[in-house]
Amino acid sequence: MLVLTRKVDESITIGTNITVTVLEIRGNQVRLGIDAPRETSVHRTEIYKAIVEENIKAAKTATDLDGLPKELGALKK
Amino acid sequence: MQNTSTTERNREGSTGGIITIQTTRFGKISIHKRRIINFPEGILGFPDEKRFVILEHKPGSPFCWLQSVTSPDLAFVMMSPILIKSDYIDTLPASERRLLKGEQAKNFAVFAFVTIPKGRVQDMTVNLLGPIVIDAEKKIGRQLVLANSTYQTRHPVFVETD
């Protein structure tokens, strides 16, 4: 992993068109500003990972829908 | 045609816009090419899966399937998150809300993936944090990752009230 030290208002450039700027440091929190092309998705890593994991689980468990209620109201709700 | 080494992958037969795709769950199905939805970014965790088709579960069912066109065994169960949270669209980020509530709203549909614990259908959960938004006109789909949201990836579909 590349490790760089930056101060507030300083930034790093990734590739040719992604810039990450340190906006604010308060206690143990850092606010970052990210400039990236529209087609580049930017996510908080833990949320991204949670969705990846859940997608994999959803794909694995999508085996049998028999026994599913035809209407949602058919089960206790 | 893409070259692929995976034996699992479908070779699509095509006649008059109708293609036949192989599926593990539904057998061989014939669909019109126009029904294929492109996911340019893939599905999170499945970056190479870029083409899907929506299949009805049963008439009148709140559930449907998002079946991969290229991998016979890959399918997701989906439902409308609006059935779980009636104000779901209002809680989306402004940019997505505009799509889903604006003038073009009739072209857009939003779904959420369902996870079903084995043998415990009643414990199924729905992923409200990573909804699937589909532009039905352009046939383009995308999985959103909601930021600053209180939604969970495992929101229970059924809530006990007794």
The two tokens of residue B17 are 């816009």
- Tell me the helix, strand and coil percentages in chain A, rounded to 5: 25, 25, 50
Asked if the ipTM is above 0.95, the reply is no
Chain A interface disruption, residue of B111, B145, B152, most A CBs within 10 A: B145
pLDDT tier for residue A61 given thresholds of 50, 70 and 90: confident
Q: How far is A3 from chain B (nearest CA, A)?
A: 26
For B137-149, the pLDDT digits (tens) are 889 999 999 887 8
Q: Is B61 on the interface with A (CB under 8 A)?
A: yes
The more confidently predicted of residues A45 and B158 is A45
CB A22 within 8 A of CB A30: yes
- Which residue do the tokens 């893409």 mark? B2
Among B118, B128, B2, CA closest to B70: B2
Residue of B130, B160, B162 lying closest to A54 (CB–CB): B130
Beta-carbon separation of A76 and B116 below 8 A? no
- Which residue do the tokens 């439902």 mark? B79
Residue of B76, B145, B160 lying closest to A62 (CB–CB): B76
The residue-averaged pLDDT of A37-41 equals: 84
Beta-carbon separation of A53 and B57 below 8 A? no
Helix (H, G, I), strand (E, B) or coil at B15: strand
For B53-98, the pLDDT digits (tens) are 999 888 888 899 999 999 999 999 999 999 999 999 888 878 777 7
Residue of B41, B113, B157 lying closest to A58 (CB–CB): B113
The two tokens of residue B122 are 């009643």
Contacts of B159 in chain A (CB under 8 A): 76-77
Q: Is B80 on the interface with A (CB under 8 A)?
A: no
Residue B13's pLDDT is: 56
Among B21, B100, B43, CA closest to A51: B43
For B3-28, the pLDDT digits (tens) are 444 445 665 555 678 999 999 988 99
Contacts of A68 in chain B (CB under 8 A): 57, 61, 63, 121
Beta-carbon separation of A62 and B158 below 8 A? no
Beta-carbon separation of B157 and A72 below 8 A? yes
Residue A8's pLDDT is: 97
Burial class (CB in 10 A: 0-12, 13-18, 19+), A51: buried
Residue of B44, B58, B83 lying closest to A70 (CB–CB): B58
Q: Is A31 on the interface with B (CB under 8 A)?
A: no
Chain A residue closest in CA terms to B114:
A58
For B102-128, the pLDDT digits (tens) are 666 777 899 999 998 887 888 899 999
Task: Count the neighbouring beta carbons within 10 Å of the beta carbon of residue A76.
Answer: 10
- The answer to whether residue A32 scores a pLDDT higher than 80 is yes
